[in-house]
Amino acid sequence: MPPLILASTSRYRQELLARLRLPFEAIAPDVDETALPGEAPAALAERLALAKARAVAARFPGAVVIGSDQVADLDGEAIGKPGTHDAAAQQLRRMSGRAAVFQTAVAIVAPGLAAIERAEVRVRLRVLNDAAIEAYLLADQPYDCAGSAKVESLGIALLDAVESDDPTALIGLPLIRTCALLRRAGLEPLA
């Protein structure tokens, strides 16, 4: 079996990939994640997922490398990781009572293969007051999460609905699509 590498330092993606019970190594991809002028959120997620996989694959020929990226999309505008408490509060206020689409792309680069898939997750946030936003942010501190919410944790209490055909996509790695790409690269999670 060729080495499997996750081109990511995200603990969320590492936890998700570990569910497949395939041995892998996580390596930082060292990719500039700045959006290009006018770049749509879905295109940004796809470009970055493939760039991350290619960057690590260039350093590890013969490996199967997974790259992934997620961009929150609010009315066509990319909403990134907030980084701070104040920025997270501002993001949640903007998204309160509205729908956002999380664009999550996964790419695989292996000898003779470069492929990408994307999953969309539509999330409807309930109407949030400042007290609820503050309580949530203090409890979960989701400052490293696109859209300022951890659906796998207390962030689920912020939502009215989640619609997706790949349930782990909202956490950062669409495992249904990842399994399909792994099979294309000759790795079967159930082998």
CATH code, 23: 3.90.950.10
Residue-level pLDDT at 1? 85
Q: How many domains does the chain have?
A: 1
Residue 190 inside a domain? The answer is no
Q: Which of 30, 32, 69, 75 is catalytic?
A: 69
Residue 44 inside a domain? The answer is yes
Per-residue CA distances from 76 to 37, 40, 44, 68, 133 (Å): 13, 7, 12, 20, 23
137 Cβ contact list (under 8 Å, min separation 6): 85, 88, 89, 92, 148
Residue-level pLDDT at 124? 97
Residue pair 56/29 in contact by the 8 Å Cβ criterion: yes
Residue 185 tokens read as 């690269």
Residue 191 inside a domain? The answer is no
Residue 116 inside a domain? The answer is yes
Q: What's the angle, vertex CA 113, arms to CA 112 and CA 118, rounded to 5?
A: 175
Residue 21 inside a domain? The answer is yes
Domain that holds residue 128: 4-184
- Annotated active-site residue 30? The verdict is no
pLDDT tens digits for the chain (191 residues)?
899 999 999 999 999 999 999 999 999 999 999 999 999 999 999 999 999 999 999 999 999 999 999 999 999 999 989 999 999 999 999 999 999 999 999 999 999 999 999 999 999 999 999 999 999 999 999 999 989 999 999 999 999 999 999 999 999 999 999 999 999 999 999 98
Residue-level pLDDT at 191? 85
Residue 25 inside a domain? The answer is yes
Residue 189 inside a domain? The answer is no
Give the rounded distance of the alpha carbon of 173 from its chain centre: 5
Strands 64-74 and 4-6: parallel
Residue-level pLDDT at 75? 94
Residue 93 tokens read as 């206020």
Residue 81 inside a domain? The answer is yes
